[in-house]
Amino acid sequence: MRKTLSLALAATAVAAVAMPGASAAATPDTVTATPDTPRWGPCPQQAAPQNADAPRLECATLDVPLDYRNPDGQQIEIAVSRLASEDPSKRRGVLLTNPGGPGASGLDYPALLAGAGLPKDVLDSYDVIGFDPRGVGRSTPVTCDLTPQQQARGNFPPYAHTAADVAEEAPFARTIAEQCATSRTAWMLPYTTTANTARDMDRIRAALGEPKASYFGSSYGSYLGAVYTTLFPERSDRIVLDSNMGPGGYDLAGFRLLGRGMEDRFPDFAAYAAAHPEYGLGTTPEQVTATFYELAKRLDAEPVGGIDGTLFRGVTFENLYVEGYMPKLAKEWQALDQGRPLPTPPPFPENLSASHFYVTCGDSPWPGEVRDYQRTAAIDRLKYPMLGGTTGNIKPCAYWPDDRVEPPVRIGDRGPSNVLMVQNERDPGTPLAGAMKLRRAFGDRATMVTADQGGHGVYPFGRNTCANNTVTAFLTNGQRPAEDLACAAEPNK
């Protein structure tokens, strides 16, 4: 799960459906009909992780409209999984899930959650539902025909030290956008969006015969859940959003905020490395921080085993996601400092990268001029010097075809008060600053629980019992704090 959460973000190698029968005046989110009931069977091997709950995971496929404005038109396939409740007397409905991305598979996520300690009361209360979002994995997949070299670059641009660096990256970004727009799945380009994935979720709900759906989503999955409950407020039951993006998802502002996340989280690693002088990275947090900048500069000038300053920043950023990765990160710094190469990471999966581009670039318009990114890179290098030269640099979204079929979904406060947000205070991938913007956008619809800890992902993987117990209580009996709750730090176990 942790690998899945970080893949679409990090730079290590470098992550009310429209139904048939609509009237001409209907909108994509008001049309109603009953889709076919899923025919459950064995899951593909890749969707059956090795844990005790994997054998119980069932899979099926569901046809959904490519374009919800034309529900009787071309259909695509969505792969769905189910970890059914084993106690019918306690079952209250379905819990749709998403692990993040965009671009990450979610078919095995119910079994992964169960294996990671999702409480039995939650497993008894719901059929836990996973799915590969449209464009991903075993759902109708998209491609950008990326070469191995392009896949190795991942989804992060290089660190831009100067305006010339941004201009140098622009042709690469344009090439990726053109490949996506001329690939054999370019017909899916305008329709592979978060809004349409949310509509697919509601079709899954209807196919399962449920009047409402509960939801648990983490990272990008928080934005997907926010869009779902905005489009379908009356069909939303209990909505849990973990590790929250801002209300614009992965728009330019959201991507730039990753620089803030690196700055928020890095002091935890600096303190760890300083407390372990055997790594030779410094004996105070200030010395460790100085080592970061010195190593990045040295690797920019003379890479070690293919790791330059950009990739060093990416390695650091990715490993900050998980508390348990700090010893690994310290050893990797030590190796690079001594001129020893790191093990070669596997290449970015082509479909993960392609679907990431389809969604992030298709959800919202991005500035289209090189000078726009020269300005954002210059600003972010000053504000967030550790990563800002990367997060401010130009991406393929700058050259994306201007054929979006609808504007971004605006997250607001209309709807039932049924959203629980849970958030680490020092999250590198979805910083607290973005979560606070989403909290304000939801208004009285949401309550937010913050945990005084670092890393990406709170429930059920984190160690903060205050936050975890609050989520479990909401999912099982509907109890939610009357107001925002701050959970104090808890010792390592």
Residues 369 and 355: their CA atoms lie apart, in Å, by: 23
Nearest to 100 by CA among 233, 228, 229, 2: 2
First to last CA, the chain: 20
Tell me whether residue 161 is one of the annotated catalytic residues: no
Angle at 297 between CA 295 and CA 299, to 5 degrees: 65
Residues 57 and 13: their CA atoms lie apart, in Å, by: 32
Q: What is the CA radius of gyration of the chain?
A: 22
107 token code pair: 């078919």
Catalytic, out of 125, 214, 219, 243: 219
Nearest to 136 by CA among 87, 78, 72, 93: 78
Tell me whether residue 219 is one of the annotated catalytic residues: yes
Torsion of CA 312, 432, 212, 68, to 10 degrees: -60
In order, the DSSP letters of 192-206 are: -SHHHHHHHHHHHHH
Side-chain half-sphere exposure of 378, counting CA atoms within 13 A: 10
260, β-bridge pairs: none
Farthest CA pair distance, the chain: 70
Is residue 481 within 8 A of residue 130, CB to CB? The reply is: no
Query: 3-class DSSP state for residue 128?
Result: strand
- CA 485, 195, 238, 464 dihedral sign is negative
- Kindly tell me the burial class for residue 300, based on how many C-beta atoms sit within 10 Å of its own C-beta (0-12, 13-18, 19 or more): middle
Is residue 111 within 8 A of residue 51, CB to CB? The reply is: yes
Residue type, 130: G
Place of tokens 């959201």: 254
Backbone angles phi, psi at 426, to 5 degrees: -125, 70
Residue type, 477: N
In order, the DSSP letters of 93-114 are: EEEEEE--TTT---TTHHHHHH
Q: Are strands 41-42 and 58-65 parallel, antiparallel or unpaired?
A: antiparallel
Tell me whether residue 456 is one of the annotated catalytic residues: yes
Element (H or E) spanning 96, and its range?
A: strand 93-98
Nearest to 152 by CA among 17, 345, 314: 345
Residues 112 and 109: their CA atoms lie apart, in Å, by: 5
Rama region for 448: left / alpha / beta (φ>0; ψ in -120 to 50; rest): beta
Length of the chain: 493
Catalytic, out of 53, 105, 356, 456: 456
Catalytic, out of 53, 202, 380, 427: 427
Catalytic site positions: 219, 427, 456
